[in-house]
Amino acid sequence: MDQSVAIQETLADGEYCAVQGVLCEGDSRQSRLLGLVRYRPGRGGQEHALFLYTHRRMAITGDDVSLDQIVPVTRDFTLEEVTPDGELYVLGSDVTVQLDTEELSLLFQLPFGSHTRTFLQEVARACPGFDPATPDPEFMWLSRYRCTEPEPEPPTPQAWNSAPGTWPGRIGGDLASGTGPVLFGGGATEQAGLRLVGVARGGGPLWGAELGAERLGLRDEELEEAGREMSAAAGSRERDSAGGSSSDELRPNGKGLPVDQSSWGQNKPENSLSRQNKSKSEITNMVRSSTITVSDKAHILSVQKFGLRDTIVKSHLIQKEEDYTYIQNFRFFVGTYNVNGQSPKECLRPWLSHDTQAPDVYCVGFQELDLSKEAFFFHDTPKEEEWFKAVSEGLHPDAKYAKVKLIRLVGIMLLLYVKQEHAAYISEVEAETVGTGIMGRMGNKGGVAVRFQFHNTSICVVNSHLAAHTEEYERRNQDYRDICSRMQFCQADPGLPPLTISKHDVILWLGDLNYRIEEPDVEKVKKLIEEKAFQTLYAYDQLRAQVAAKAVFEGFSEGELTFQPTYKYDTGSDDWDTSEKCRAPAWCDRVLWKGKNITQLSYQSHMALKTSDHKPVSSVFDIGVRVINEELYRKTLEEIVRSLDKMENANIPSVSLSRREFCFQNVKYMHLQVESFTIRNGQVPCQFEFISKPNEESYCKQWLRASPSRGFLLPDSAVEIELELFVNKTTATKLNSGEDKIEDILVLHLDRGKDYFLSVSGNYMPSCFGSPIHTLCYMKEPILDLPLETIRELTLMQLQTEDNGSQLEKPMDIPKELWILVDYLYRNAIQQEDLFQQPGLRSEFDHIRDCLDTGTIDNLCILSDVPVPVCICVNHSVAEALLLFLESLPEPVICYSAYRNCLECSGNLTASKQVITTLPACHRNVFTYLMAFLQELLKNSAKNHLDDNILASIFGSLLLRNPAGHQKLEMAEKKKAQEFVHQFLTHPEPLSLLSYSA
């Protein structure tokens, strides 16, 4: 939520809040608001200070905030981005900044995104600079904020400073109101959320919060409760967003929004701290229904950090949910719009506010928000702010709304709003992203999702953009399955299994699903549309066929299509596509749902909007949500407690396992295998958990996972546990070398009971994926034709061995597997459009891997003889296999030892060439070979649409990797790595593809 309005109300005339941010609590610190305040003295010029406030969970007006301290922006004030020592950097993660004055040093973390950049720029502009002609700021206007009431003695000698370099403020929202405009607060999408992780250098603690709590009359336990509440209000940051952005707090669409008056409220009646507000809004250690799926509520329960008795209470409450809840209908608006990279040019109310009744909840999704290369590779875009503002202005005028969440992955964005009166009943908000582009990560295709608890019903909203092109329905199916399997929402307790999409009471799925109409005659399709014979045309719809085949969206429903296809139009008109490609019309943009008590009221397109080559689609639902009857809830709780008082807890829990030995046969690289077993409980409720063995950090090896790994069982209930085995680049090398084996012992522990031991075994099929370059150069035969001992010796062989007069036979110039992949692409895909940008099919990768590992090159060549649409798909699969091969190398093409030298000489071609000459021969050959291939691709850029920037971006982070083991490079390093590769592409030497054969 943009809370600068609340800050503005505390300011005096002439003082304006330019930018606001949220100072989120750390492990033991509490939430703060931070505003950059500008004042224009009568003598001209302007002065700035950072104001820090304590606040209620949602700061709507000045009464909700209390000034805690002030940091004047003096000449010695600096705020710069830093990289904490030893911290793992993930692209799209928080930005760390250091605030320094002469006496003060603070460290903050800000969310990744455009608004954070704006915030830092505004603070930088606010600094007075070093021009001696400019008078020093006097900050006389800050004197009005000096404490006027007797205060507890601060822990520092200064009467003004709570920490050196800061000024404490008055407590309470009773400062003179100002009416100045908010320059950057109101339209901000990405909140400049900051978490305080450092304290004053001078040793003065930040004591304003303690003072505020005391004046509000909070007891210690209430303060702790409020801290948990504000942690919940801050929400989660997106952890694997691939550069996505989020905005975690409720945002008003109008004036004061009375959301969730929490325990910070001074005049709140005692009974207002009801079970409803405490468990849902504050996420306390009481019942959390959203951790339980619809299908297994009575069986397996997520275990919280409290005792067995509370867990039993929780489980019984879930079983008896119908006894104390009733169904109440709420109106949901669900909309999807592929905007084709355009900025908003027209009002969105014909789409968002077409109904006379204002919706209770808005779920608004966009695709192709930004089609630029910058958005694709660096994940930041101004279009996010533009479309967020357009949506906020287009919401129904008869209601006021709060923004619950914004989540974006490159061009896929999802916004969630609720009416202000419902905001207090929204809790447990989490958001995640899944990229399904090339290598299963890139965010040009994929999905974003928000899950939340509304009253006592769990809801998940998914916005997806699936693979394009008529013939690619199998890849769309794969994208859907990937989103379902990889979209996982973390719970408060990291030991608990994550929630998947399916584990919600209500699922709403929207987006550009890209399923097309199979009828090949475009004119026939247009004629059926003109005749409004939509049901006849629907018979050719790919999504209908795939759902009927149970390939996707099993159990989902979709309303009848009574509107004409929403794609593809000439931009700015209602005319069908007249471009050279002349795309056939299709219902690409869809809304589906799954769950009980859902009634679709409308399903339509909106032809009035002409910004894009798609038309927006909306669906309005009445959804029955379970609402708690407080009196019945208390009565049910009392009955459960009384029954527990009679229960004998002295018994020792005991379970039976359906099996204890698991053998995984012929495990292959990146091929998931799953074995399952059942835990059946006896007569005593029990908690179970897989625990680590002595001297081991995890309960299992990296290639294994148990799902769920812990839980709770009622008497006579059972749960199925899945053991998932998956070998990736992290674990493949040691399995290839024999340093690790598919062997493990799992320990299943029962609380107050005994331990059960499970044996896991199997055999791994060695692969060229995960093998070092020099090892593969010495393997004249396919890896699976070699004895295991030979593979072990070659894999463990040091890189220097090839240059020290070894007795081994002379190695090949480059790995034969690399040659096979590049040669295939050179012969079949040199003109393939969007090569290295579109993902392949999982089944085809399996086939390619097997061909490389067994040496059956002829089988790979057969792929080039398939029909054209299938051949295109194979080309993308081989291209992706090449990228995965390079990513799996334990030592990258440019060795770790040369990494820093490469970054330092990026931009200097002569020096860069010199670095390449220092590489071992096999690595040097591979680099030269790849550059020659990429140069050949660029010669065909008119057909394949590749350019040097795209290829440098894709291959830069694969050929150059940080030796510290960072999964992703910092932005500055990433750009230097790209620049290093880029110079070899734009200044081609007389390179040629090496004369090499398998």
Could you report the per-residue pLDDT of 7-23, keeping only the tens digit for each?
Answer: 777 777 666 665 555 44
Q: pLDDT band at 254, cuts 50/70/90?
A: very low
Q: pLDDT band at 739, cuts 50/70/90?
A: very high
Amino acid at 306: F
Residue 290 scores a pLDDT above 70: no
> Do the domains at 3-128 and 810-986 have one common CATH topology?
no
CATH, range 3-128: 2.30.29.110
Rounded distance between C-alpha atoms, residue 509 and residue 490, angstroms: 20
Rounded distance between C-alpha atoms, residue 481 and residue 433, angstroms: 14
Mean pLDDT of 108-117: 60
* 601 sits in which H/E element: strand 598-605
User: Token pair 């998956």 is at which residue?
Assistant: 726
Q: How far is CA 881 from the centre of its chain?
A: 25
Residue 91 scores a pLDDT above 50: no
Tokens for 232, please give them.
Answer: 């919940």
Amino acid at 707: S
pLDDT number for residue 837: 83
pLDDT number for residue 579: 85
Bridge partners of 34, per DSSP, are: 21, 52
Look at residues 773, 701, 681 and name the one whose alpha carbon lies nearest to residue 744: 701
For 38-46, the CB contacts below 8 A with 24+ separation are 38/126, 39/14, 39/15, 39/141, 40/14, 41/138, 41/140, 41/141, 45/134, 45/135
Residue 805 scores a pLDDT above 60: no
Tokens for 629, please give them.
Answer: 């009857």
Mean pLDDT of 496-501: 85
pLDDT number for residue 858: 72
Q: Which of 531-535, 635-639, 721-725 has the lowest mean pLDDT?
A: 635-639
pLDDT number for residue 61: 64
pLDDT number for residue 207: 29
Bridge partners of 80, per DSSP, are: 98
Q: Which of 262-271, 622-631, 910-919, 927-936 has the lowest mean pLDDT?
A: 262-271
Residue 218 scores a pLDDT above 60: no
pLDDT number for residue 379: 61
Look at residues 907, 918, 879 and name the one whose alpha carbon lies nearest to residue 975: 907
Is 965 in contact with 976 (CB distance < 8 Å)?
A: no
Rounded distance between C-alpha atoms, residue 284 and residue 288, angstroms: 9
Tokens for 607, please give them.
Answer: 């032809």
pLDDT number for residue 325: 95
Q: Which of 195-199, 409-413, 815-819 has the lowest mean pLDDT?
A: 195-199
Q: pLDDT band at 276, cuts 50/70/90?
A: very low
pLDDT number for residue 90: 43
Residue 902 scores a pLDDT above 70: yes
Note the helical H segments in 455-567.
473-486, 522-530, 534-538, 542-548
Cβ partners under 8 Å of residue 583, min gap 6: 567, 568, 577
Cβ partners under 8 Å of residue 403, min gap 6: 1, 247, 250, 251, 252, 253, 392, 415, 416, 417
Domain spanning 810-986, CATH class: mainly alpha
Phi-psi region of 502 (alpha: psi -120 to 50; beta: other; left: phi over 0): alpha
pLDDT number for residue 465: 96
pLDDT number for residue 991: 52
Q: pLDDT band at 140, cuts 50/70/90?
A: confident
Distances (CA, A) of 570 to 387, 517, 604: 21, 19, 20
Mean pLDDT of 401-408: 93
Is 963 in contact with 822 (CB distance < 8 Å)?
A: no
pLDDT number for residue 121: 72
Mean pLDDT of 759-787: 94
pLDDT number for residue 171: 31
Distances (CA, A) of 292 to 246, 277, 298, 508: 26, 19, 9, 18
869 or 452, which is more confident: 452
Mean pLDDT of 630-634: 90
Q: What percent of the chain has pLDDT over 90?
A: 47
Rounded distance between C-alpha atoms, residue 13 and residue 18, angstroms: 14
CATH architecture of 655-765: Sandwich (2.60)
pLDDT number for residue 513: 97
* Cα dihedral: 89, 91, 93, 97 (round 10): 70
Cβ partners under 8 Å of residue 36, min gap 6: 17, 18, 19, 20, 48, 49, 50, 119, 122, 123, 126
120 or 309, which is more confident: 120
Q: Where are the domains of the chain?
A: 3-128, 328-628, 655-765, 810-986
Residue 182 scores a pLDDT above 60: no
pLDDT number for residue 479: 93
pLDDT number for residue 807: 56
Through-space distance between the first and last CA atoms of the chain, rounded to whole angstroms: 61
> How high is the mean pLDDT of the chain?
77
640 or 30, which is more confident: 640
pLDDT number for residue 808: 65
Tokens for 927, please give them.
Answer: 């680099």
Q: Which of 42-51, 167-176, 919-928 has the lowest mean pLDDT?
A: 167-176
Q: pLDDT band at 308, cuts 50/70/90?
A: low
Q: pLDDT band at 4, cuts 50/70/90?
A: low
Residue 478 scores a pLDDT above 50: yes
pLDDT number for residue 202: 34
Please compute Rg for the chain using Cα positions. 30
pLDDT number for residue 649: 52
Mean pLDDT of 767-791: 93
pLDDT number for residue 854: 93
pLDDT, one tens digit per residue, over 855-866 is 887 766 555 544
Residue 449 scores a pLDDT above 90: yes
Rounded distance between C-alpha atoms, residue 264 and residue 269, angstroms: 12
Residue 330 scores a pLDDT above 60: yes
CATH, range 328-628: 3.60.10.10
Tokens for 775, please give them.
Answer: 């090892």
Look at residues 40, 110, 33, 41 and name the one whose alpha carbon lies nearest to residue 79: 110
